[in-house]
Chains A and B, each alone.
Chain A
Amino acid sequence: MKQHICTHINGEAAEFLCDPGDTLLQVLRDNLQLTGTKEGCGSGDCGACSVMLDDRLVCSCLVLAVEAQHHQIGTVEGLATGDRLHPLQQAFLDHAALQCGICTPGFLVAAKALLDHNPSPTESEVRFWIAGNLCRCTGYDKIVRAILAAAENMRDSHAGAQS
């Protein structure tokens, strides 16, 4: 029997019907047409489907859609504010941190989760944090640089806002 789920997606109230066995990834993509979240493996190994479940970074292919009930879901579609890109999105563009772009949404969501709790990560911390996100195009070099640059920008603008 279909389940009726009430949740919040990218800050907006949302509801959907799903089967008890549907994953959050399936519902985001197929029911809600939020196709920015990608499926690379369906087994939690590639990170392309990374989303936020409240303040937790999760692979949406490993979360049941019914678990979204009364929780907050954050996806790549919610990163930008209107036409203003998130500093991470801008840094990925400025540093050419994507080639094909299929893994990019997952990296952005994962990187934001890192910077939200650690605004000054070292290169090593960045590399271990994103070790659950696979990229086959870039060799990670430019992704790591983009995340470090975005962190610096965000610290600077934070400091600027406080002074």
Chain B
Amino acid sequence: MKHATKKPLRSVGTRPVRPDGIDKVTGRALFSADFNLPDALHGAVLRSPFAHARILSIDTTRALALAGVKAVVTASDMPAIPDDKVMINAQPPDFRDMSANILAREKVLYEGHAIAAVAAKDAETANRALQLIDIEYEVLPHVIDVQQAMEPGAPLLHENLITKGINPAPVQASNIASRHEQVHGDVELGFAQADIILTEEFTTQPVHQGYIEPHACLARVASDGQTEIWCSSQGQFMVRAYCARLLDMPLSQIRVMPLEIGGGFGGKTTVYLEPLAVLLSRKSGLPVKMQMSRADVFRATGPAPGSYISMKIGARKDGTLVAAQGILCYQAGAFAGSPVRLGCMTAFAPYDIANVKLIGYDIVVNRPKSAAYRAPGAPMASFAAESLIDMLAQRLDMDPIDLRIRNAAREGTRTAYGPSFKEIGYLETLEAARAHPHYAAPLGKNQGRGVASGFWFNIGGQSSAALTLNEDGTVMVATGNPDIGGSRASMALMAAEVLQIDVSQVRPQIVDTSSIAYSDLTGGSRVTFAVGMAVIQAASDMVVKLQERAATLWDVSVEHVRWQDGCAVTDVEGREERLSLAALAAQTAKTGGPIAAHVSLNAQGAGPGFGTHICDVEVDPDTGRVTVLRYTAVQDVGKAVHPSYVEGQLQGGAAQGIGWALNEAYMYDENGAQLNPGFLDYRVPVASDLPMIDTVLVEVPNPRHPFGVRGVGEVPIIPPLGAVANAVSRASGVRHVDLPMSPPAVLKAIQRAARRRR
């Protein structure tokens, strides 16, 4: 790929109505629960009432005997995963854990852990059958809190879990699944150079992705084993691969049809119901539809991990950061695999600090297995780092943006996690934030302003796109990645740009696993960048073919044909001849047959993303209630392909981060059962909680993408935790280090500080 184009763009950067828009405002779009087959059975899941228990026996006889029950499955129906099939290329996920998460084997590890599944003629029969499954449990002591789980003598979730990443390996099993160490420079030397050292401890709670669409799927298995799955997910190829691995089936036997996805945010990058529906359909010989309730979603699908973080930074009097050090403990949930390593990598990535040492611990606890949630691992680590930087600004009486500018990573800065940055736009976001009218607006009594920044790597990955020219000159763009927030529009715009045609002439489609080559799942802010690259390449290939076809029709050499305004153009005796896309499409029989271009690639060169957010709050000193008064999100987006949907990513990420900072938390009773598995008590931000969220799209092009695109979806959830906490701390005069900053917590912190002052 060449350097970012300098040509004026005609489609990229415009704001057309999205191609799937009409379907979504009229109720026509089919989401996962909207797809039905007339003979489908109803599938239901039996879930553990205990946080931690050994399963002594399961007897399904009475359930199977109930009239209308067609199949029952338990863990004994799930193939054991042999040692060489636990991972693919030694990369997570761990399929043995995934299998045990989908149906508990010897033990249940959290309240809501699935134990058995039933297919019956209707929901009522299925639910009655669940009550007829007889299970003997031996209830075990449980542990919910991450720090308690690390104590010697804590109840062990996995009796054979030996901490990875410690040399020599410990002899005793523990709940510490792994230790990750990241060292850059020499922190002891760094802190010795520091005039100021600030140390603090931070805690954050697990938060759910909170997609409004609960998981649902429908599976149909034919007697020859051919399997069809209709579901919404962040990757139809992911669903196919995971089901095949878990159920020991060849990929060619499974076809996954992607339905519209009603939000994912990382939480739909794994499977829960799909393998169960396949097993039940195989056993019953009928299609099986399964849907989670909202309580199931809360109790059994992945939240982002909670965390305990102890961190310190050292700086010179002029504000230059010289060292940072910390311990990050993340709750993986019931199985290992929290993104603590990503937390270590991202925490100080926005800054040029010579000496950084971070140690991450991945801890298992009796909670649902955590799953990816937008910039996995980064927001909590960033909350700690950005709080300390704000404390430093206060100590030095320095403007918090100026302090960040002084230390900002730039092109050439060696990151604490290894590589050096190429072209990045962090400084530009800081300067845009400082220049924004929001930053100069006056504040009233009990009000405060917080600033924080965030970094995400962004990724590329394996991606496929297929373009076909229809007989009338319109163009189909097929890709294998679910459209989670407007990516169809981006794909259409990029194809239109290359073909130099109106975007209305391009129809994007998300197709099933049998209709296009493999694509990695939708996540990591990769689709517009990486799948877009495949679309652009395929469109470029199509232009070449069109020029060749035109050359054939004109009987000229192809070098004399150029592509302009959606037409092949040549000069004949000083006169311009043109063949439109429609004209070329109509004559394919004469020029060699239909015209299509399929590109599969492994996209490299994703440009890192940086954002800086400004948040104003008012804190009610009598109740501790925090009101967000004004919010501005600034981000380097490379190039906004459809600016409205880029703004939407910033606004949505900011709102989720504000919820993380102020409201959202899981509550458990003394038995380890979740007390708030519903939207009434697990309170995500509602419209009346928020102001308008202003956005500034800074465009520092990514030179490794033809239009300069960077991923945008992850970054905006990172800064809000720090920005809100810094605003609340400045408004209340007390540093807040524990999330969420709910009214009782804020009030308690204010009262404690007042008592200290007396």
A7 contacts chain B at the CB level, 8 A cutoff:
no
Query: Is B651 a contact of A142 with CB atoms below 8 Å?
Result: yes
Complex interface residues of chain B between 201 and 216 (CB less than 8 A to chain A): 209-214
Which of A96, A100, A123, A138 has most chain B Cβ within 10 Å?
Answer: A100
Query: Is B692 a contact of A135 with CB atoms below 8 Å?
Result: no
- Could you say which residues of chain B place their CB within 8 Å of the CB of A138? 648, 651-652, 655
Query: Is B644 a contact of A89 with CB atoms below 8 Å?
Result: no
Pick the contact of B27 from A35, A135, A145 — CB < 8 Å? A35
Complex interface residues of chain B between 299 and 316 (CB less than 8 A to chain A): none
Give Cα A28 to B652, complex, Å.
30
Q: Which residue of B lies closest to A129 (CB)?
A: B687
Query: Is A136 a contact of B678 with CB atoms below 8 Å?
Result: no
Binds A, one of B18-26, B50-58, B64-72, B527-535: B18-26
B601 contacts chain A at the CB level, 8 A cutoff:
no
B166 contacts chain A at the CB level, 8 A cutoff:
no
Complex interface residues of chain B between 1 and 29 (CB less than 8 A to chain A): 15, 17-18, 20-29
Complex interface residues of chain A between 81 and 125 (CB less than 8 A to chain B): 85, 89, 92-96, 98-105, 108, 123-124
A77-B26, A102-B263 are known contacts. Are A38 and B212 too (CB-CB below 8 A)? yes
Q: Which residue of B lies closest to A130 (CB)?
A: B687
Query: Is A38 a contact of B213 with CB atoms below 8 Å?
Result: yes
B690 contacts chain A at the CB level, 8 A cutoff:
yes
B679 contacts chain A at the CB level, 8 A cutoff:
yes
Binds A, one of B30-38, B182-190, B513-521: B30-38
Q: How far is the CB of A74 from chain B (nearest CB, A)?
A: 12
A17 contacts chain B at the CB level, 8 A cutoff:
no
Q: Which residue of A lies closest to B25 (CB)?
A: A89
Q: How far is the CB of B648 from chain A (nearest CB, A)?
A: 5
Give Cα A43 to B293, complex, Å.
10
Give Cα A48 to B679, complex, Å.
12
Convert A2-20 into 0s and 1s, putting 1 for each residue whose CB lies closer than 8 angstroms to a CB of B.
0000000000000000000
Q: Which residue of B lies closest to A44 (CB)?
A: B680
- Could you say which residues of chain A place their CB within 8 Å of the CB of B18? 93, 96
User: Would you call the interface of chain A mostly helix, strand, loop, or mixed?
Assistant: loop
B76 contacts chain A at the CB level, 8 A cutoff:
no
A52 contacts chain B at the CB level, 8 A cutoff:
no
- Could you say which residues of chain A place their CB within 8 Å of the CB of B36? 30, 33
B89 contacts chain A at the CB level, 8 A cutoff:
no
Give Cα A135 to B688, complex, Å.
12
- Could you say which residues of chain A place their CB within 8 Å of the CB of B262? 38, 40, 100-103
Query: Is A103 a contact of B212 with CB atoms below 8 Å?
Result: yes
Q: How many residues of B contact A (CB 8 A)?
A: 58
- Could you say which residues of chain B place their CB within 8 Å of the CB of A95? 644
- Could you say which residues of chain A place their CB within 8 Å of the CB of B29? 101
Q: Which residue of B lies closest to A106 (CB)?
A: B212
- Could you say which residues of chain B place their CB within 8 Å of the CB of A100? 211-213, 260-264, 484-485
B45 contacts chain A at the CB level, 8 A cutoff:
no
Complex interface residues of chain B between 676 and 704 (CB less than 8 A to chain A): 678-680, 684-690, 692-693
Complex interface residues of chain A between 111 and 163 (CB less than 8 A to chain B): 123-124, 126-128, 130-145
Give Cα A130 to B689, complex, Å.
11
B645 contacts chain A at the CB level, 8 A cutoff:
yes
- Could you say which residues of chain A place their CB within 8 Å of the CB of B27? 34-37, 75-77, 105
Give Cα A12 to B648, complex, Å.
37
Q: Which residue of A lies closest to B485 (CB)?
A: A99
A98-B25, A136-B265 are known contacts. Are A46 and B687 too (CB-CB below 8 A)? no
Give Cα A80 to B645, complex, Å.
24
Query: Is B26 a contact of A80 with CB atoms below 8 Å?
Result: yes
- Could you say which residues of chain A place their CB within 8 Å of the CB of B648? 96, 99, 137-139, 142
- Could you say which residues of chain A place their CB within 8 Å of the CB of B210? 134, 136
Query: Is B25 a contact of A42 with CB atoms below 8 Å?
Result: no
Query: Is B485 a contact of A141 with CB atoms below 8 Å?
Result: no
- Could you say which residues of chain B place their CB within 8 Å of the CB of A48? 212
A43-B294, A104-B24, A134-B684 are known contacts. Are A99 and B693 too (CB-CB below 8 A)? no
Give Cα A161 to B531, complex, Å.
48
Give Cα A130 to B687, complex, Å.
7
- Could you say which residues of chain B place their CB within 8 Å of the CB of A46? 212, 294, 679
Give Cα A29 to B18, complex, Å.
26
Q: How far is the CB of B633 from chain A (nearest CB, A)?
A: 9
A48-B212, A99-B485, A139-B693 are known contacts. Are A89 and B651 too (CB-CB below 8 A)? no
B486 contacts chain A at the CB level, 8 A cutoff:
yes
Complex interface residues of chain B between 147 and 201 (CB less than 8 A to chain A): none
Give Cα A42 to B295, complex, Å.
10
- Could you say which residues of chain A place their CB within 8 Å of the CB of B429? none
Q: Which residue of B lies closest to A36 (CB)?
A: B27
Query: Is A136 a contact of B644 with CB atoms below 8 Å?
Result: no
- Could you say which residues of chain A place their CB within 8 Å of the CB of B655? 138-140
Give Cα A152 to B60, complex, Å.
61
Query: Is B678 a contact of A79 with CB atoms below 8 Å?
Result: no
- Could you say which residues of chain B place their CB within 8 Å of the CB of A101? 20, 23-25, 29, 260, 262
B236 contacts chain A at the CB level, 8 A cutoff:
no
A99-B484, A130-B687 are known contacts. Are A36 and B28 too (CB-CB below 8 A)? yes
B725 contacts chain A at the CB level, 8 A cutoff:
no
Complex interface residues of chain B between 455 and 491 (CB less than 8 A to chain A): 484-486
- Could you say which residues of chain B place their CB within 8 Å of the CB of A45? 294, 678-680
Query: Is B212 a contact of A93 with CB atoms below 8 Å?
Result: no
Convert B368-380 into 0s and 1s, putting 1 for each residue whose CB lies closer than 8 angstroms to a CB of A.
0000000000000
Query: Is A136 a contact of B679 with CB atoms below 8 Å?
Result: no
- Could you say which residues of chain A place their CB within 8 Å of the CB of B212? 38, 40, 46, 48, 100, 102-103, 134-136
A32 contacts chain B at the CB level, 8 A cutoff:
no
Q: How far is the CB of B234 from chain A (nearest CB, A)?
A: 11
Query: Is B25 a contact of A38 with CB atoms below 8 Å?
Result: no
Q: How far is the CB of B182 from chain A (nearest CB, A)?
A: 32
Q: How far is the CB of B487 from chain A (nearest CB, A)?
A: 10
- Could you say which residues of chain B place their CB within 8 Å of the CB of A89? 25-26
Give Cα A75 to B26, complex, Å.
10
Pick the contact of A144 from B31, B260, B680, B692 — CB < 8 Å? B692
Nearest 4 A/B pairs, CB to CB: A36-B27, A102-B262, A139-B655, A101-B24
11 A-B pairs with CB atoms under 8 Å apart are: A34-B27, A40-B294, A77-B26, A96-B15, A96-B647, A99-B652, A100-B261, A100-B262, A136-B211, A141-B651, A142-B651
Instruction: Identify 14 new A-B residue pairs, CB closer than 8 A, beyond the known A38-B33, A89-B25.
Output: A30-B36, A35-B30, A45-B680, A46-B679, A85-B25, A89-B26, A102-B260, A103-B212, A127-B690, A128-B688, A134-B684, A136-B210, A141-B690, A141-B693
